[in-house]
Structure 1
Amino acid sequence: MTTKNNQITDQEKAIEQTTTVVEPQKTKEQIKQEKKAELKLKYDEIIADLKNPVKKAVRRRKTGEKLVAILRGFIFFGLSFIIVFPIFQEISLAFRDPLDLNNKLVNWIPENFSLFNVKISIILLNYWKALWNNVKVSTISTVCQLFATSLAGYALSRLKFKGSNIIFWLLMLTLIVPPQAVSLSRTFYLGSFDIFAFGNHPGLFEKLLGHTLKLKGTGKTIVFYITSLTGQGIRAALFIFLFRQFFRGIPVELEESAQIDGAGVVRTFISVMLPNARGVITTVALFAFVWQWNDVYYTSMYEVSGDTYPMLTAKLVTMSERVAALILQPQYVNIVKTIGEGITKNALFTETLLNTAALLIMTPLLIAYLFVQRLFIEGVERSGIVG
């Protein structure tokens, strides 16, 4: 049996060898021609893709998107650098040892870290007392601004009366007119404040109290609250404009349904309009708080800040004078001995303290912004200014 099987397998191998066709080997020229044909086919496909109008439009759109993304990245990087660079510089100066001020090798990273500049700035600013005063004044002024500007914006958007457009454009004019143009009249009026006074006729307070109200002076922060409640606060016209434009975008049907239910103007404003205006309220509140916090002009004009009632920004303005007087005050004798009298007379030392003080003033706002960042962004998105 084994011999028969071996004979069968030998026969099958012989049949396979006779049936297989031996392919002739390709020459180098043939291989070269085939490669040329493949390359030409790919080239034709690429040319066809390039000439295809649909694919051409897609490529053009993608290229445009990439260029726009690159340009946007450069712009954002530039703006971020402009905003962040001064902050980094202030941080670097704040923690730099005064003895390193003239060291040209020290640029960004201090060679010797020190809290000396921070301690001196806190003393010169009367920081903790001034910080509390700033928080109090800014918070109350912001609440007064929200109350007055929201009412004015609602009245100008919904309560149509004769002269409403004229009043609105006069308000817009106050955005163009610089505050210095009205500072004299405002200072004179608030320096001797009275109601219903005309010419030589005494006003209400003079009749009741025997004298007018002196709203200017150290610690008299009521001047900020009165101007905010009467729609004359810092950037109040802008806030009225924001509220007016937002209320104009709310459907009238909401008010009509509230009026059908028996709601009056005040009830409609409180129950219908304000709950829908949370976005613009957040935006206005943040802007009003920051602008009041950083205010220097009105604080100086009303003479609110003083030794007994310090305000941060007003203290910063006059800080260079107090730095120059460091060596003349006995409580700073130890400080002068520590760094040397020559350093205190150095202009770089004064600039370093001013930078440190500015950083101290700005730090509470930066910390607060970390917590309200989401609300602020949502407020800006929802406040949608419409025509």
Structure 2
Amino acid sequence: MMTEAKTKFLNRQFNALKNKSKQIYDKRLKTPQKRKMTFELILEKASVLLKYFLLYGLSFVILYPLIQQFSIALRAPEDINNPLVLWIPENFSLKNFEISGIVLDYWNALWNSIKMSTIVTILQILCTALAGYAFARLKFKGQGILFIIVMATVIVAPATIELPLKLTLMDFLGTGKSLLGSPTIMYIFAATGMGIKAGVFIFLFRQFFRGIPEEIEEAAYLDGANPLQVFTRVMLPNARGAMVLTGILTFVWQWNDSYFTANFVSKVNSDFSTLTTKMMSIRNAIQGAIQQAGIWQLLDQDVTQNPLFTSMILNTSAMLSMIPLIIFYLLVQKVLFTEGIERSGLVG
């Protein structure tokens, strides 16, 4: 009896579900118009799900190394060989930050990085904007060839021009004075269109100024303005978006630069180093740093011979170098960065 009652109950449930499915079909899929609307709704929901799936997937790929890096930085040095420690450190410690700060000479290198990146950014904005305006509006012989040469600087490897630049700087303008080892070199590069990726920014400003109506310039000329006045009073204020984008990228690229700063400044003048150039020589400075931090012996061996410990200090040093940039991004990304991209003509 129980089995028969149960079978009848299941049959009623199945029939009810069947009737409900038929009602849904009649309501949504019976006519071609309803089928089309239903399929469009399904595609819309599927696209939203796919978008969020990709968004969360890419976020994980980007954030995973940062989370792992932060976890390693907070790990006590004696736990570096502990196979049980994967994500959450068994012993939390700030010793890695202390050692990294000593190795990097952090506050001095931080000040040098901020000063150099800021000055280079200002000079590069002014230089590339002026060059971009000249290529966009002024007409002169050889303009096309010169612009091709400027664009070629983007794809030419820096090592190709390193030797000629060093020979020139060793006898600057025939004065017999060498500028190698001075941060002034980076400022000269930025002010003369030889800064990092300057060709990209010249092209950016050229395209931006070409998009501004010529009637605005003509009105300024009728009022008696010369080309320089038109540039500074009319064109430059309208190029705020391109200036913001150029400033952000130049600051970040100069901050992370290890090639030009190391070869032309730090390798010649050991008293001037940025955070990035300090990281290049960090392996040779670990021994003195751990002696100063008071943890010379770890795991019954010289820690400088432990590659995992060296990698942990490198990891923490990289994190200390990134913190100012992260703060910089947080300050400008909403107010300036989005507007800079939108107004620079790089979006569709």
The normalised TM-score by structure 1 is: 0.79
Does 2:80 match 1:111? no
CA distance, structure 2, for counterparts of residue 189 and residue 237 of structure 1: 21
Report if the CA contact (8 A) 1:246-1:384 is conserved.
yes
1:313 to 270, 276, 292: 276
CA displacement at 1:252 relative to structure 2: 1.4
Sort the Cα spacing of 1:385 and 1:254 in 2 relative to 1 into closer, same or farther, 3 A: farther
Task: Report the secondary structure of 2:296's partner residue.
Answer: helix
Task: Report the secondary structure of 1:138's partner residue.
Answer: helix
CA distance, structure 1, for counterparts of residue 239 and residue 128 of structure 2: 13
CA distance, structure 2, for counterparts of residue 253 and residue 54 of structure 1: 52
Deviations 1:175-212 (A, max 9, x none): 22221222222222223221xxxxxxxx4xx3xxxx2x
CA displacement at 1:384 relative to structure 2: 1.3
1:59 to 35, 38, 48: 38
Does 2:155 match 1:193? no
> Which residue is 1:221 aligned to?
183
Task: Report the secondary structure of 2:29's partner residue.
Answer: helix
Sort the Cα spacing of 1:226 and 1:323 in 2 relative to 1 into closer, same or farther, 3 A: same
> Which residue is 1:353 aligned to?
313
> Which residue is 2:231 aligned to?
269
CA distance, structure 1, for counterparts of residue 223 and residue 36 of structure 2: 57
Unpaired stretches in structure 1, ≥5 consecutive residues: 1-31, 195-202
CA displacement at 1:64 relative to structure 2: 2.9
CA displacement at 1:39 relative to structure 2: 5.2
CA distance, structure 1, for counterparts of residue 72 and residue 156 of structure 2: 38
Sort the Cα spacing of 1:370 and 1:48 in 2 relative to 1 into closer, same or farther, 3 A: closer
Sort the Cα spacing of 1:180 and 1:73 in 2 relative to 1 into closer, same or farther, 3 A: farther
CA displacement at 1:151 relative to structure 2: 0.2
Task: Report the secondary structure of 1:309's partner residue.
Answer: coil
Sort the Cα spacing of 1:106 and 1:223 in 2 relative to 1 into closer, same or farther, 3 A: same
Sort the Cα spacing of 1:52 and 1:214 in 2 relative to 1 into closer, same or farther, 3 A: farther
Aligned pairs, how many?
Answer: 332
- 1:345 aligned partner, one-letter code: Q
Does 2:57 match 1:78? yes
Does 2:282 match 1:303? no
Structure 1 vs Structure 2 CA RMSD: 2.6
CA distance, structure 1, for counterparts of residue 325 and residue 304 of structure 2: 30
> Which residue is 1:381 aligned to?
342
The normalised TM-score by structure 2 is: 0.87
2:327 to 363, 367, 374: 367
Sort the Cα spacing of 1:137 and 1:184 in 2 relative to 1 into closer, same or farther, 3 A: same
CA displacement at 1:270 relative to structure 2: 1.2
> Which residue is 2:245 aligned to?
283
Sort the Cα spacing of 1:174 and 1:74 in 2 relative to 1 into closer, same or farther, 3 A: farther
Deviations 1:98-152 (A, max 9, x none): 1111111111111111110100111011110010011110000001100100000
Sort the Cα spacing of 1:251 and 1:322 in 2 relative to 1 into closer, same or farther, 3 A: same
Report if the CA contact (8 A) 2:128-2:205 is conserved.
yes
CA distance, structure 2, for counterparts of residue 135 and residue 216 of structure 1: 20
CA distance, structure 2, for counterparts of residue 333 and residue 49 of structure 1: 73
CA distance, structure 2, for counterparts of residue 226 and residue 276 of structure 1: 26
Task: Report the secondary structure of 2:178's partner residue.
Answer: coil
Sort the Cα spacing of 1:269 and 1:100 in 2 relative to 1 into closer, same or farther, 3 A: same
Sort the Cα spacing of 1:72 and 1:165 in 2 relative to 1 into closer, same or farther, 3 A: farther
Report if the CA contact (8 A) 1:246-1:386 is conserved.
no
CA displacement at 1:49 relative to structure 2: 4.3
CA displacement at 1:172 relative to structure 2: 1.7
1:134 to 89, 93, 113: 113
CA displacement at 1:269 relative to structure 2: 1.0
CA displacement at 1:235 relative to structure 2: 0.6
Report if the CA contact (8 A) 2:29-2:38 is conserved.
no
Report if the CA contact (8 A) 1:142-1:288 is conserved.
yes
Q: How many percent of aligned residue pairs carry the same amino acid?
A: 46
Report if the CA contact (8 A) 1:149-1:231 is conserved.
yes
> Which residue is 2:122 aligned to?
143
- 1:315 aligned partner, one-letter code: K
Sort the Cα spacing of 1:49 and 1:115 in 2 relative to 1 into closer, same or farther, 3 A: closer
CA distance, structure 2, for counterparts of residue 359 and residue 346 of structure 1: 20
Task: Report the secondary structure of 2:139's partner residue.
Answer: coil
1:77-96 alignment runs, 5 A limit: 77-96=56-75
> Which residue is 1:29 aligned to?
none
CA distance, structure 1, for counterparts of residue 322 and residue 200 of structure 2: 24
Does 2:336 match 1:336? no
Report if the CA contact (8 A) 1:98-1:339 is conserved.
no
2:286 to 306, 323, 332: 323
